[in-house]
Amino acid sequence: MLKPGATIGILGGGQLGRMLALAAQQLGLKVHIYSPDKDSCAFDVVHTFTCADYDDEAALGRFANSVDVITYEFENVPAKTAAFLAKRKPVLPDPRVLELTQDRLIEKNFISELRIGTAPYAAVHSASQLADGVAKVGLPAVLKTKRLGYDGKGQAKIAKGGDANAAWRSLKNEPCILEGFIDFEREVSVIAARSADGKIECFEVTENEHRDHILHISKVPAKVSPALAAEARRIATRIAKAFDYVGVLAVEMFVVRTGKKRTVLVNEIAPRVHNSGHWTIDGATVSQFEQHIRAVAGWPLGKPIRLGRVEMINLIGAEVNQASHWLTVPGASLHLYGKKDARAGRKMGHVTKVISK
Ligand code: AMP
């Protein structure tokens, strides 16, 4: 259990690292950010940071020596980096979780072994596997690179009667997973926190709307029945337990309807704090960032109480130019990440509206 004044090392310097650092500081903890990107927006809010590559062992060694525990704000931390650091200081969540979530095929197999539903899927490492996959899951389908995809990057939809080989070529014939296209009713996520002693707290189920494959709006509570919400939270709880997880994770799910019956299928697990949990900063008594810091510090989790009906709106690219409008909206809280360049598709900030009790 860390004492106030101890230092948490965070791998990654984006907005998630920045908001984790702010939460840690509120609890009297210090933060050391490690990121290879000199423009990391998390550097701006901490006293100590290291700007070095993930394979710079001298810099990693100094970083490990300067902190008490290490965590990460993104799932693509190279396995070698995580292993090097884990020999020197505790790394939480355990780096084994990275191996299970960096590869979409390993992740889907893991979820299926827990007997949790997913879209039908097949591995695609060759043209013949692609043909077999199309026969197995049917069309329409989505082809996704196994590694390093996000916000719709590394994905190609194959329409009914479409050309699967052309879709695979568009992804440079990289190893892929083919998923049956799910005609979902809505998308939801569950943000769950698990403490070092195995206690779990889930935030309420969040409903997510995407625009151009990027999260646009999250709303809480999601428009799902209490039974379905309980089922979604049970699934997130089972995944967190199966990972022996310490920290916050997000489970993205599709709500599907067959006749009158609705169920959820898991789309993806993010072993980190998540954009769809940003509403918790202003909309709940404890945020996802604070829960993560509490967990990796070995502290008890908070019992999150939602403060009203909440909406979180992402400010993407040039939308950040309308930030001053949000300053005048009653009940709205503005969060800007301090990024210099408002490139198209870049997450520049978000707004949370706490609408009513
Ligand atoms: P992902 O990168 O896997 O989170 O996918 C990004 C978005 O693409 C999801 O949030 C969905 O809106 C959509 N999507 C991904 N997989 C599927 C699927 N199998 N069926 C339908 N839509 C999907």
Ligand 1 near 107 CB (within 6 A):
no
Q: 3-class DSSP state for residue 321? A: helix
Tens-place pLDDT, residues 84-105 = 999 999 999 999 999 999 999 9
Q: From edge to edge, which strands make up the β-sheet containing 7-11? A: 48-51, 30-35, 7-11, 69-72
Q: Are 251 and 192 in contact, with CB atoms under 8 Å apart? A: yes
Task: Decide: 179 in ligand 1 pocket, CB within 6 A.
Answer: yes
Q: Is the C-beta atom of 147 inside 6 A of ligand 1?
A: no
- Other CB atoms within a 10 A radius of the CB of residue 172 amount to 9
Q: How far apart, in whole angstroms, are the C-alpha atoms of residue 227 and residue 224?
A: 8
- pLDDT value, residue 277: 98
268 lines ligand 1 (CB under 6 A): yes
Pick the residue whose CA is nearest to atom 6 on ligand 1. 152
Mean pLDDT, the chain, as a whole number? 96
In 3D space, the residue among 248, 252, 213 whose CA is nearest the CA of residue 347 turns out to be 213
- In this predicted structure, the answer to whether residue 149 has a pLDDT above a threshold of 80 is no
Task: Inform me whether the pLDDT recorded for 165 exceeds 80.
Answer: yes
Report which ligand 1 atom has the smallest distance to the Cα of 150: 2
Q: Give residue-wise pLDDT tens across range 195-240.
A: 999 999 999 999 999 999 999 999 999 999 999 999 999 999 999 9
Does 188 contact ligand 1 (Cβ within 6 A)? no
- Alpha-carbon distance of 130 to 321, in angstroms, equals 44
* Dist. CA 267 → ligand 1 center (Å): 7
Per-residue model confidence (pLDDT) at position 152: 72
Q: Is the CB of 187 under 6 A from ligand 1?
A: yes
**Domains of the chain with CATH codes:** 7-91 (3.40.50.20), 120-180 (3.30.1490.20), 186-355 (3.30.470.20)
More confident site: 148 or 80:
80
